Amino acid sequence: MTDAFGRLVCALAIKGFVLLNLVACAEEEPTEAQRKQCFDSYIREHQAEYPVDTLKKTAALKCYS
């Protein structure tokens, strides 16, 4: 009975460790303000290199996906 109890405790500890790591590593969803800032800064950063319409599409994919 003691051996089975030890395995149960070990299994629960491992499951708890995995669960805590999954919760701790989860990424937070960016806010709308952060997405807008990403969009605007991407366009400003690359405006000399590409047409604005292309930049808007690329920035939307990068910042809103």
Q: What pTM did the predictor assign?
A: 0.58
- pLDDT attached to residue 27: 73
* Residue 4: pLDDT band with limits 50, 70, 90: confident
The pLDDT of residue 14 is 77
In this prediction, residue 40 carries a pLDDT of: 97
Neighbours of 59 (CB within 10 A): 20
Bin 2: left if φ > 0, else alpha if -120 < ψ < 50, else beta: alpha
Q: What is the number of other CB atoms lying within 10 angstroms of the CB of residue 6?
A: 10
10-62 pLDDT per residue, tens? 667 677 676 666 666 667 889 999 999 999 999 999 999 999 999 999 999 99
